[in-house]
Amino acid sequence: MNYNLLSSTIYGAIITIISFGIIALFIFFGVKRGFTKTFIKDFGALFSLIFALLLCSTVVNFLERTYSSVKSFSMSISGLMDNMFGKEVMDLHAGNVNSTNLQGILSSWLINTIINLIGANNNIENVPLREVVSPVFSYYIISFIVIIVLFILFRIIFYIIGKEFE
């Protein structure tokens, strides 16, 4: 009778397979943890920015529906528009706006935005320009703030996820 179990071929093969299985399991979990941690660490900022940009308009629209944030902020900065571009320009009716009478006063992207808004909405032809420009500026300012807040929020989330894989 053979009492040395390790010298037997069948038992040796079984022990070798179990040993390789355990080693493979440790390698798998080590690679998974290391890969995930490295991936989150290296690409967390990029994913945070992408998620922030993707969710920005949804969050701004939610804030507008719930708190009328764009409208409130627009009323707050309408006086600033007078100081920035001049009261006579802001008193122009939107129907009288064209690219030639605003050239040199407003930047071209803002002129194009105003003209597109007027073309898309016939109800604003008799509205002062301040009531068209203020919401546009308000929307962009609030969007910028929301992007920053979402970016920070997602960075924190990815940091916490990365800590889970340490």
Please compute the mean of the pLDDT values over residues 141-152 and round it to a whole number: 96
Percent of the chain with pLDDT over 70: 87
Q: Distance of CA 27 to CAs 21, 33, 80, 162, Å?
A: 10, 10, 62, 19
Percent of the chain with pLDDT over 90: 28
* Confidence class for position 61, pLDDT limits 50, 70, 90: very high
Q: What's this model's pTM, rounded to 2 decimal places?
A: 0.71
Check residues 30 and 44 and name the one with the higher pLDDT. 44
Q: Does the pLDDT value for residue 1 go beyond 50?
A: no
Mean per-residue pLDDT of the chain: 82
* Confidence class for position 55, pLDDT limits 50, 70, 90: very high
Please compute the mean of the pLDDT values over residues 113-117 and round it to a whole number: 73
Please compute the mean of the pLDDT values over residues 90-109 and round it to a whole number: 75
Q: Does the pLDDT value for residue 151 go beyond 60?
A: yes
